Amino acid sequence: MRVCHLSWEYPPAVYGGLGRHVHALAEAQAALGHDVTVITDHVPDRPAQESIAGVRILRAAPAPPELPFDTEHLLAWVLALNHRLAATGIASWQRLRPDVLHAHDWLVAHAARDLVAIDTTPFVATIHATEAGRHQGWLPTDLSRSIHRIESWLVATAHRVITCSEHMESEVSRLFDVPSDAMAVIPNGIDTRRWSTPARAKRIGPDDPTLVYCGRLEWEKGVHTLLDAVARLRRHYPRLRLVIAGDGSQRGALVEQARRRRIATRVTFTGWLPEERLHEVMSAASAVVVPSVYEPFGLVALEAAALNAPLVVARTGGLTEFADDDSTAITFTPGAVDDLVRAVRQSLDDSRGATIRARRARRRLGEHHAWPVIAEATLSVYQQAALHRRRAPVTSDRDLTGNLLAQPPV
């Protein structure tokens, strides 16, 4: 099968879980013998076209207007990106002749629609997260409402929609009224050979417990809850440390919060770490904490499990499904500092139980999250899209209040 992925991020440009997901999925599909292309944004000092691990990568050339990637300019930046992505795809479309186009999230929606219009190519969309979900069901700004409209337009016109968890399937179905027979749940995956415990990594002893957070520093990731919990946990574990690996728009506010809570000397903000160093930090953790308020899946939980690190995760979204009633991770109520303190203490004070859960979590990876299995499941969705591509597109849809939304959105 000839597959074309459309993604705004792809290695070496990776800002979150989406880029890593597309990367692993594309290479797994290529390893199965399929012709795989990824159309993505340009990266300085990388060629416009190259082939890596059997995947053909086409990078859109920079073109004016070149806008900053920030909230004020986000919609204009996205529309300019989509123009360049579409131009790159159109220039190669007759040579690629894809059997399916797979678009990842709203940031590539307009380019996807332009490309599938060329020859009515079957069209699959993966929704990795929703704007309404990130804001706890609210659309507080014009920007949020615009993103929601684009998401709605994207899923309404795709022949099949993929989500990474049952929670996300329910969320997308509720928000956008997508028929259940047009949706599929395919979880994120992980290559456990790549995420293996480094030989020199050594778990820190109970007298010097270290908690680790890894991910973007945004409000929905719940790091503010973790900092408040650490301030309380130090009463029980005076030598407790917290390592925060990642970056984002809330870094400054979180650094200030640590200072106000008088734990600044016990918290280390590392920024983004090289993968080898990240493996060492997570492997040495007394517990990896995923405190998200909103988390469609939680790829970091798979990464921690692959490294045999004990997990403490918020009971939200896909994290709940992976925790499997606390059999693979201890869970707590999202945003509840007292419950997070309780969960961390349970993990730290019961090392045997933490080890058992970590082993179960790693076994679960091989059973449910191997990339060849996920690649095959995704290919099956492509075949369904090809069979049903004549499904009439929805030309209008509803927002959260039931009002009709006109399209196309801008």
Q: What pLDDT is recorded for position 65?
A: 83
* pLDDT at residue 66 in the model: 83
Q: What is the reported pTM?
A: 0.84
What pLDDT is stored for residue 198 in this prediction?
Answer: 66
pLDDT for the residue 275: 85
Cis peptide bond N-terminal to 393, omega within 30: no
- Region of residue 222 (left: phi > 0; alpha: psi -120 to 50; beta: else): left
Question: Could you give all domains of the chain from N- to C-terminal order, each with its CATH number?
Answer: 2-189+371-405 (3.40.50.2000), 210-368 (3.40.50.2000)
Tell which residue, 312, 313, 306, 320, has the closest CA to residue 366.
Answer: 306
**The three-state (H, E, C) secondary structure of the chain, written as one string:** CEEEEECCCECCECCCHHHHHHHHHHHHHHHCCCEEEEEEECCCCCCCEEEECCEEEEEECCCCCCCCCCCCCHHHHHHHHHHHHHHHHHHHHHHHCCCEEEEECHHHHHHHHHHHHHHCCCEEEECCCCHHHHCCCCCCCHHHHHHHHHHHHHHHHCCEEEECCHHHHHHHHHHHCCCHHHEEECCCCCCCCCCCCCCCCCCCCCCCCEEEEECCCCHHHCHHHHHHHHHHHCCCCCCCEEEEEECCCCHHHHHHHHHHCCCHHHEEEEECCCHHHHHHHHHCCCEEEECCCCCCCCHHHHHHHHCCCCEEEECCHHHHHHHCCCCCCEEECCCCHHHHHHHHHHHHHCHHHHHHHHHHHHHHHHHHCCHHHHHHHHHHHHHHHHHCCCCCCCCCEECCCCCEECCCCC
For every one of its 410 residues, what pLDDT tens digit does the chain have, with 9 covering 90 and above?
999 999 999 999 888 789 989 999 999 999 999 999 999 999 999 999 999 999 999 999 998 888 888 889 999 999 999 999 999 999 999 999 999 999 999 999 999 999 999 988 999 999 999 999 988 888 989 999 999 999 999 999 899 999 999 999 999 999 999 988 899 999 999 988 888 766 555 555 556 899 999 999 999 999 999 999 999 999 999 999 999 999 999 999 999 999 999 999 999 999 999 888 999 999 999 999 999 999 988 889 999 999 999 999 999 988 999 998 889 999 999 999 999 999 999 999 999 999 999 999 999 998 889 999 999 999 999 999 988 764 444 433 444 433 433 344 44
Residue 266, C-beta contacts closer than 8 angstroms, at least 6 positions apart: 230, 234, 240, 241, 242
Q: What's the confidence (pLDDT) of residue 400?
A: 41
What is the per-residue pLDDT for 396?
Answer: 39
**What is the three-state SS of 219-287?**
HHHCHHHHHHHHHHHCCCCCCCEEEEEECCCCHHHHHHHHHHCCCHHHEEEEECCCHHHHHHHHHCCCE
